[in-house]
Amino acid sequence: MTRRSLIDGLDYDVHLDLRRAAASFDSRTRIRFTSGAGSTFLDLKAEAIKAITLDGDDVDVDRVRQGRLPLTLTAGEHEIVVDAVMAFRNDGEGLHLSVDPADRRPYVYGMSFMDAAPSIFACFDQPDLKAPYTFHVLAPTDWTVIGNAPGTQAEPGVWEFESTQPLSTYFVTLVAGPWHMIHDEHDGIPLSLSARRSLAPYLDADAEELLTVTKQCFDEFHRLFGIRYPFGNYHQAFVPEFNAGAMENPGCVTFRDPLIFTSKVTRGERIQRATTVAHEMAHQWFGNITTPRWWDDLWLNESFAEYLGNRVTAEVTEFDDAWIHNAWTRRQWGLVADQRPSTHPVAGNGATDALAALQDFDGISYAKGSSVLRQLNTRLGDDVFFGGVIEHLTRHRFGNATMADLFGAWERAGAGDLTPFTEGWLRTAGPDTLQHDAALRALILTPADADAPPRSHTLSVALLDGDTWRHESVEVSEAETPVPAAEALVVDPDEQTWVLALADPASIDVLIGRGGGPNEPQVRAGLWNNVRSALHNAEVSPAQVIDLAVVTLPTEQVDDAFRSLVPWLSGKAVPLTQEPDDAAARLHEAFRERVDSAEPGSTLQLGALQGAIATAGDPAVLHRWRQGQDLPDGVQLDLAVRWRIINRLAVLDAIALAGLDAEFAKDPSTQAGVSRAGARASLHTDQAKAWAWARFTGAEPATNYELAAIGAGMWAGSDLSHALPYVDDYFSRITELQSVHSGWVLGEVVEAFFPLAPLSAQIAEQAEGLIASGDLDVTVRRRLVDATDELRRRLAVVEKYGAPRVGASL
């Protein structure tokens, strides 16, 4: 922040030479700016530095230490020129170079978020030092290069780009390679899509849907904001090995390319893609036109984009059930994060730098923040809500602003004093807890923080009387709030507030006895959120959860339910039961029943099939399916289904490494490679676990997607004997893991390889000892805290309801 008071008037001119497309690239940056007199530093993470000049005078390149060049500046205008060699990266950050295994073509994309820009070009890397950028790129002649501003190929392999609008460093990107391109236009805005050439037929198949959603969202955002999109072209690039879901770079949004569907997918997956497109488009206004001044206010970006992405998708696209999707897939993400020891307020999280802020890009900043903004919009109405936002964007156009600036704009628009709302909902961490007490006929409220200002909740409850569900509105502000008598009750199914609603066992028993749950999709999602929260807090037994699933799954009407419940049931509820094999078998039959009753070829059938595969215990059934035999009518044995089957066979120790390799040889795609990596790590052999561990330690390379799959496979299956010898090594190596992995990938590796499956109190104690020592990288500590909390909660469940039988298959 001190640097911002010293430096102004920044302008960047960047030359990149990507023609080698090998280990490194040349980067020449000229920065012009004015400053006051004082000391500061330039950010530069180079592989080698050829030369640096300040106002024409040579600077000793050896002065660069730990990515910073100290500068002593006089008052006035200055020019710095840095000529350097930068390393291509393979961790999804910086300038990432990926070679497509399908055809060996190379592709490059930039990910400057959050602190990776200095590994592409020299810069003053902080969000409140915005500047225009002019890029010049040399590339192989068969490549296409896209950046934040419109560009042209001046001659073969020479790309010249217009100057951008003022951007924060973390928005700067380019994508370069032999991309398959699709072009279109809407309302005067040039639109385009790109993906690897091996994905060309799939991008072509998805293009109409993607472009239609994009156009509909542009129209709605223009209506809501009354401000035209200001960044020229709008390109959406689907890139390989991308860590996040997407990144909102102005003019050139990057998405992970599994969002180009190469196999049949559920409607829920299409909704997720549509809301992701809308989310990134919302950022073009809230985040890109006006950017938070510092990292601790980045929730303003993500909470707004999460709320508006869901709202706009639901209101103007074919995916009008986006809020139901949100209930199934996002609510628990936020609630679980808000219960961790690492919970933090939505606003004012205290992040001092980019690395600290990265830890808070979680379900709190997205799902909880979105819920709070949705409540605020309901309270204020669109006129006041968007009136304040429009003033905020106009007043701080192409600049930076704070939370206080936004709330001041709302208050001027007619919101009144928002201090109580801010303190209660945005600056107080943790959820209030709300549980139905059937005996008292009351909702019992437990505040998240007894010393914080009390929150009041306006919500509905769904009540079952006979065969009818009805909704009643309830105001909750006291310790006990009476509710009408009912056979069963679901708290806050419409998600009108942010609260930890715990299902009561009596209601669950009623639903089990009646052979099913509510038919209304939103209530059904709310019920399962109540149930999942209750198991997380050891308030219901795993056996009760399985009983409820068995009677509700055969009548499920929303494929998002399967997409959400399959990994949770098979990965958490089943392993916590006393008889995991029996629980899995019962679920398998329930999923099979829905596969058979669903419309052949429907996405509902596909979702149920995924559950049937995940819970299958008979390898013979899976082998027949893998060979295309005995498949239910309508089921396609495409790449995704085939590898789900193969991965399950690996978990059951019913396929060998040679079988995995033979399957991969049939279609050596990126998706198949990730699946093969996870399956190989799941094999019940010493060699498989040693192979997996070499990727954890960095002794052998693996992509970011592969690492996540390998970590999951490391602890899969019933026979953990081959993996258990690595528990001590996990804790002995974790303190040095940041020297092997970094950024986003570091966090993923810590969590993916954490030994959760053994359900061991000794492992929890080992982790807690490391956490207490304080000698941990901030990313390592955050992920270790969260994983240990999950382990402790699972231990609490088995202590209360009984431990799983030793030797179970899951």
Tokens 């070009």 -> residue: 121
The predicted pLDDT at position 1 comes to 60
What pLDDT digit, counting tens, does each position of 201-248 carry? 999 999 999 999 999 999 999 999 999 999 999 999 999 999 999 999
The percentage of the chain sitting over the pLDDT mark of 70, rounded to a whole number, equals 98
What pLDDT digit, counting tens, does each position of 16-57 carry? 999 987 899 999 999 999 999 999 999 999 999 999 999 999
**pLDDT above 90: residue 654:** yes
What pLDDT digit, counting tens, does each position of 56-101 carry? 999 999 999 999 999 999 999 999 999 999 999 999 999 999 999 9
**pLDDT above 80: residue 128:** yes
| pLDDT band per the 50, 70, 90 thresholds, residue 350 | low
Tokens 């498989």 -> residue: 688
The pTM of this model reads: 0.96
**pLDDT above 70: residue 358:** no
The predicted pLDDT at position 481 comes to 96
What pLDDT digit, counting tens, does each position of 394-430 carry? 999 999 999 999 999 999 999 999 999 998 999 999 9
d(CA 297, CA 302): 10
What is the chain's mean pLDDT, rounded? 95
Q: What is the mean pLDDT of residues 317-339?
A: 97
The predicted pLDDT at position 694 comes to 97
Q: What is the mean pLDDT of residues 134-159?
A: 97
d(CA 592, CA 554): 8
* DSSP structural state of residue 804: P
The predicted pLDDT at position 450 comes to 83
The predicted pLDDT at position 484 comes to 93
775-779 own/partner pairs: CB under 8 Å, 24+ apart: 775/735, 776/734, 776/735, 777/735, 777/737, 777/738, 777/746, 778/355, 778/356, 778/359, 779/355, 779/358, 779/359, 779/738, 779/743, 779/746, 779/747, 779/750
Q: What is the mean pLDDT of residues 271-289?
A: 97
**pLDDT above 60: residue 699:** yes
**pLDDT above 60: residue 810:** no
Kindly list the domain boundaries of the chain, sorted by start residue. 2-264, 265-430, 654-810
The predicted pLDDT at position 466 comes to 86
Question: Do the Cβ atoms of 492 and 502 come closer than 8 Å?
Answer: no
What pLDDT digit, counting tens, does each position of 476-508 carry? 999 999 999 999 999 999 999 999 999 999 999
The percentage of the chain sitting over the pLDDT mark of 90, rounded to a whole number, equals 91
Q: What is the mean pLDDT of residues 444-461?
A: 90
Report helix, strand or coil for 51: strand
Q: Where are the beta strands (DSSP E) in 88-150?
A: 94-99, 106-111, 133-138, 144-147
| pLDDT band per the 50, 70, 90 thresholds, residue 357 | low
* Rg over CA atoms, the chain: 27
One DSSP character per residue, 720-768 reads -TTTGGGHHHHHHHGGGGGGTS-HHHHHHHHHHTS--TT--HHHHHHHH
d(CA 663, CA 670): 13
What class does CATH assign to 265-430? mainly alpha
**What's the topology of domain 2-264?**
Immunoglobulin-like (2.60.40)
The predicted pLDDT at position 356 comes to 67
CA-based angle 16:21:24, to the nearest 5? Answer: 65
